[in-house]
Structure 1
């Protein structure tokens, strides 16, 4: 991506963990400053079909629009937008992104050159079976996650508008499984092996169900046309798509959906308005479990500081998550930090199997 931008407000306790995770894995993340949103700003979102948007969702909405406008102020053609609770594996930059991007480019190339056919499943399940193991690929394969010189790194920007590199696997997603399968069967899709995937017990249950339904081995990832991509914590976006969203959903605009949250806006654009959206299963980027910023914003101010930070197990779908306590080193410990960076970039995972706390959220 040309740039990576994170949505995070000035008082967020998650920033330190996000920036440390990016530092360990060699990823350049920028956190655009947000204005001090006023009641007038919030009211400007609650217009027309969006009049029921709550305070927390309105703040998140404004934060995403702010990040998209920052992206549009740059010369870049693509961006990755993160929320500050995003979590990823230590192999994201060294192997996962190059593999996923190559598979998507191959999918687009195959779909564009194949002859037309009445059979909608003609490109489905381009399986490459392999034996799963837990060793990480060599760090020599490192490829920058940002690349302003190659806007087509994830495939031609005319072939996609939004890439969901992570999304929430909710109960609703399970209920929509049949429609999701129909969507996948009627569009090109592809699978590819990835040795950095965790064992079966750490794959999200809803993701596991979908992959089982498609006979995709849990040692592989699947690219498919999006149907129920709920979540806004990790999405790639083209410049043209970002401009469309800003035009449709900025303050005072009613947009083309009746969504009451920004992540639902993305879902409805992909599901109901035929945007060129693609989802990766399992996703490369997860969302660790900690009190929701939207929920905190909706609390009385006196209660916000009292909200407990939950202890969690590793984030779903990640073998060695960067936001877990075992990888945290205090900011003043320069030697310890450099040592941890060296270990992570060698592909070592210092985490154990105990319950660990999230980093940078408390």
Structure 2
């Protein structure tokens, strides 16, 4: 059976995880520029009072993409052209955090969505991460923890990647897990994705926080300073099929200290399916861009596994949970 730990109820210092940057030094969005993606992101951020920065993304030369795509020995799976562009973009934004000497950062892809209650969700997650990593919770009375540590480490210090937005993750009964009741967690009946069978092993309407096993999709992940350095070192030379898969493999191999949140609290928003909107990766692979933004941007789409969509609430004053 998993180790079921009840998170503490203390408001200090985990309540910092409910601030406008969710307890991280900064929230950065990975984006190629203004579009329906960023406009919806900014509307959701305004509604939930989050401060999200969108750094300009540097141009990636096609020759660099081609070279990156071909790195590694024969016989290993290699990224497509579009996946290589996305991979290099993730590396660029992580380099930006290193150059800025960020202590912690949350990186979002620009088409993501989250629950309108994200700030209270993250406080519970911070409590759970601290319990999972056995980081002292009574910081005020612990002489080993400085005031600065207490004020800047709502999630503790013993993690390197905190994977809060993904499209699926394994879970087994023997995993050391912090489980807690969460009415904002997507119920089993509404959960969509390849990991539904694993999700159904977790008690319904509960959130699980545990050492990562197999998270896929890099919708939203936080990095510590050491985590950023390790990701650049381990993933900077490609040699895999995609950025998220390679980071997952580094987590699985215990080369990086990674923690997953399941069900996820951040997921990709999808424009209305009838318009056939194309992803940036597919466009990078040469696929037609599809419908024009003016045709679909004003029509509500949907988000999987997020009960009270911040995007849809901000733009249409409605929820838009995609049903199975």
Alignment TM-score > 0.5, same fold: yes
Distance 1:351 1:25 in 2: 15
1:137-194 deviation digits (Å, cap 9, x = unpaired): xxxxxxxxxx9984421122xx21111102113xxx6xxx5xx42xx62x52110122
Tell me which residue corresponds to 2:54.
Answer: 31
SS in 1 for 2:256: coil
Tell me which residue corresponds to 1:327.
Answer: 314
Tell me which residue corresponds to 2:43.
Answer: 20
Report if the CA contact (8 A) 2:180-2:208 is conserved.
Answer: yes
2:121 to 96, 103, 111: 96
Tell me which residue corresponds to 1:345.
Answer: none
Distance 2:25 2:319 in 1: 35
What does residue range 290-309 of structure 1 map to in structure 2 within 5 Å? 290=271, 291-300=278-287, 303-306=288-291
Tell me which residue corresponds to 1:201.
Answer: 189
SS in 2 for 1:165: strand
Tell me which residue corresponds to 1:65.
Answer: 91
Closer, same or farther: CA 39–31 of 1 in aligned 2, 3 Å: same
Report if the CA contact (8 A) 2:165-2:267 is conserved.
Answer: yes
Give, in angstroms, the shift of residue 276 of structure 1: 1.2
Tell me which residue corresponds to 1:238.
Answer: 224
Give, in angstroms, the shift of residue 231 of structure 1: 0.9
Closer, same or farther: CA 234–352 of 1 in aligned 2, 3 Å: closer
Give, in angstroms, the shift of residue 33 of structure 1: 0.8
Give, in angstroms, the shift of residue 47 of structure 1: 3.9
1:75 to 70, 92, 101: 101
1:319-352 deviation digits (Å, cap 9, x = unpaired): 210122x5317xxxxxxxxxxxxxxxxxxxx315
Report if the CA contact (8 A) 2:115-2:310 is conserved.
Answer: yes
Distance 1:353 1:305 in 2: 22
Report if the CA contact (8 A) 1:197-1:319 is conserved.
Answer: yes
Unaligned stretches of 5+ residues in structure 1: 113-146, 330-349, 357-362
Give, in angstroms, the shift of residue 354 of structure 1: 9.4
Distance 2:88 2:101 in 1: 22
Report if the CA contact (8 A) 2:305-2:321 is conserved.
Answer: no
1:287 to 268, 272, 297: 268
Closer, same or farther: CA 226–51 of 1 in aligned 2, 3 Å: closer
Give, in angstroms, the shift of residue 41 of structure 1: 2.4
2:210 to 218, 221, 224: 224
Is the counterpart of residue 259 in structure 1 residue 240 in structure 2?
A: yes
Is the counterpart of residue 268 in structure 1 residue 293 in structure 2?
A: no
Report if the CA contact (8 A) 2:165-2:220 is conserved.
Answer: yes
Unaligned stretches of 5+ residues in structure 2: 1-23, 138-147, 272-277
Distance 1:104 1:110 in 2: 8
1:9 to 24, 32, 36: 32
TM-score when normalising by structure 1: 0.68
Distance 2:31 2:282 in 1: 15
Tell me which residue corresponds to 2:154.
Answer: 153
Aligned residues between the structures: 278
Give, in angstroms, the shift of residue 355 of structure 1: 8.1
Report if the CA contact (8 A) 2:78-2:242 is conserved.
Answer: no
TM-score when normalising by structure 2: 0.75
Give, in angstroms, the shift of residue 316 of structure 1: 2.4
Is the counterpart of residue 48 in structure 1 residue 71 in structure 2?
A: yes
